[in-house]
Structure 1
Amino acid sequence: MMPCRTLRKSAPPPAAERDAVAECALELRRIGDKADLRQRILNLIAKLFCPKT
């Protein structure tokens, strides 16, 4: 059996860093939402103009 080691708790990141990470995540979400919407529209157009019988 391996001896147990206590894990050191790291200090929480500074508020400015947390805000930057949150803003970055929000921007990535927006970019992903736009890409998803564009793909859905393209799929709809392809379905309408190129129906597979």
Structure 2
Amino acid sequence: MMPGKTIRKTVPPAAPAERDVVAECALELRRIGDKADLRQRILNLIMKLFCPKT
């Protein structure tokens, strides 16, 4: 080993249960983002209909 170099420790692979939790969390975050996007699109449409630019 060369001086000044550190040895990288390998990270053990995630357990199947942990992967399932991460996947479920990602799915929930995606749903929240989709709802927020839909809400913003509806608000933009309402603004265009009721507050037209002059």
CA RMSD after TM alignment: 1.2
Other-structure match for 2:23: 22
**What is the deviation of 1:47?**
1.0
Question: The residue matched to 1:12 in structure 2 has which SS?
Answer: coil
Gaps of 5+ in 1: none
Normalising by the residue count of structure 2, what TM-score does the alignment of the two structures yield?
A: 0.86
Gaps of 5+ in 2: none
Aligned length: 52
Distance in 2 (CA, whole Å) between partners of 1:21 and 1:27 is 10
Distance in 2 (CA, whole Å) between partners of 1:28 and 1:5 is 36
Question: The residue matched to 2:34 in structure 1 has which SS?
Answer: helix
Runs of 4+ aligned residues of structure 1 deviating over 2 Å after TM superposition are: none
Normalising by the residue count of structure 1, what TM-score does the alignment of the two structures yield?
A: 0.87
Question: The residue matched to 2:53 in structure 1 has which SS?
Answer: coil
Other-structure match for 1:11: 12
Other-structure match for 1:51: 52
